[in-house]
Amino acid sequence: MRLLYITDTHIRGTSPQNRKDNFPETLRAKMKEVILLAKKHRVHALLHGGDLFDTPSPALAVCSGFIPILAEAGVPLYAIAGNHDLFGHNPLTLDRTMLGFLNRLGVVRLLRDEEPTYLEQHGIKVQLSGRNYHYDMDRRSPEEDYLVQKKDCDFAVHLVHGMLYDKKLPEGVPHTLIDKITHTEADVTISGHNHLGFQATRINGRLFLNPGSLVRLSNHPAEIKRKPAALLLEFTPNGVNYQYLQLKSAPPGEEVLDRTAIEQAAFQEEKLAEFVKGIKSSGEFQNLVIDEIIQSLADKKGVSKAVREGALARIAAARQRLEVDGSE
Ligand SMILES: [Mn+2]
């Protein structure tokens, strides 16, 4: 039995600021290639790791260019919801989202948290489970989201839209280390959310995989170097094989990502990081809210309203990046 996994497609109708190409057109080409790969490798189902869409309720005009591609796959598409698919990171809103609607139409089959799905082919039975993104993901005990029990099957596969990673991320970025979940009964744990992916890891005979996002939204140097790929899984009586299939339709990063904005952004990030570090290291300011510091500095120095609001907006954006997700 074979399955093909992709994640974080972030379907949208416009090109992100950092992209130099026509993003929706490039994405359509990639998704068509994924369907061709599914046919070529005769997979039995497609899997999606979440953030199918960039917003919970994208315009019909946006979706109409993509949904027919998914509908023509010829095999079931099992998916979980990513943070971008949900209103307020709340899986209870799923029925109001485009992803929930596609589930009702039967274009997508959502893996709900309760019961796993079983796929059977050529005498091999695979248990498929999934965990949607939710507000406490990577903040509460990893057991609740990443661990599954294997029941009455040959192989268990678990999808999670969470920040699973092979090494520690900076403090303040919620994430789950692979080391913490190696006692799972799932033979294969596959995550999305982290667009860069991580090196395939095999521990105690268990596989932990994330091929990375199908799209490159940020112009982070690692994203410029990265080639988007789909993950092919093959289940045989002897075990699980996996292979990353790099997409030929994905243009080189240098061609589609704009470097000019990066240098400027890197400089600003560095300055902001220095500023925050300075504030944090000074005990006197430890309990002060950064917004208040800016307000009082602005008052003292007669800074214009526009500058002050600009500073507050940047802090809000930086805080959102720190508290919510890095490069989700
Ligand atoms: Mn994402």
238 lies in the same domain as 269 = no
Which pTM value belongs to this model?
Answer: 0.80
CB 266 within 8 A of CB 224: no
Q: Helix axis angle, 290-301 relative to 260-281, nearest 10°? A: 100
The alpha carbon of 281 and the centre of ligand 1 are apart by a number of angstroms equal to 32
Q: Are residues 176 and 93 in the same domain?
A: yes
- Cβ 25 vs Cβ 15: under 8 Å: no
Ligand 1 center to residue 217 CA distance, Å? 9
State the distance from the centre of ligand 1 to the C-alpha of 37, rounded, in angstroms.
22
Residue 328 lies in a domain: no
User: Tell me, what's the pLDDT at 324?
Assistant: 43
> Which residue range is the domain that position 109 belongs to?
2-254
Same domain, 172 and 243: yes
pLDDT for 266: 66
pLDDT in tens, the chain (328 residues): 999 999 999 999 999 988 999 999 999 999 999 999 999 999 999 999 999 999 999 999 999 999 999 998 999 999 999 999 999 888 889 999 999 999 999 999 999 877 899 999 989 999 999 999 998 999 999 999 999 999 999 999 999 999 999 999 988 899 999 999 999 999 999 999 999 999 999 999 999 999 999 999 988 889 999 999 999 999 999 999 999 999 999 999 999 998 876 666 666 777 777 766 665 555 444 445 666 677 677 777 777 777 877 776 776 666 555 544 444 5
Domain boundary among 237, 254, 271: 254
Ligand 1 center from residue 296 Cα (angstroms): 37
Å from CA of 162 to ligand 1 middle: 10
Same domain, residue pair 189 and 242 = yes
Compute, in angstroms, the gap from residue 7 CA to the centroid of ligand 1. 8
- Judgement on whether residues 160 and 299 belong to the same structural domain of the protein: no
CATH label of the domain that carries residue 36: 3.60.21.10
- How far does the centroid of ligand 1 lie from the alpha carbon of residue 328, in Å? 4
Nearest CA-CA partner of 85 in 46, 56, 43, 123 = 56
Q: How far is the CA of 50 from the centre of ligand 1 (A)?
A: 7
Q: Are 250 and 268 contained in the same domain?
A: no
Q: What is the pLDDT of residue 327?
A: 45
Q: What total of structural domains would you count in the chain?
A: 2
Last residue of a domain, one of 199, 231, 254: 254
Q: Which single residue is written with the structure tokens 């002897």?
A: 238
- 305, 311, 313, 319 alpha-carbon torsion, rounded to 10°: -150
> How far is the centre of ligand 1, averaged over its atoms, from the C-alpha of 297 (Å)?
36
Same domain, 298 and 154: no
State residue 261's pLDDT score: 64
Q: Are residues 79 and 172 in the same domain?
A: yes
Centroid of ligand 1 to alpha carbon of 259 (angstroms): 21
301 and 241 both lie in a single domain: no
Whether residues 35 and 126 share a domain: the answer is yes
Structure tokens at 19: 């992209």
- Please, which contacts does 115-119 make with residues 24 or more away whose CB atoms are closer than 8 Å? 116/148, 116/151, 116/156, 117/78, 118/152, 118/153, 119/1, 119/3, 119/44, 119/45
Same domain, 109 and 234: yes
The pLDDT value recorded for residue 26 is 97
Query: What's the CA gap between 278 and 288, in Å, rounded?
Result: 13
pLDDT in the model for residue 318: 65
Q: Which of 208, 232, 254 is the last residue of a domain?
A: 254
> Both 203 and 67 in a single domain?
yes
CA of 229 to the centre of ligand 1 (A): 15
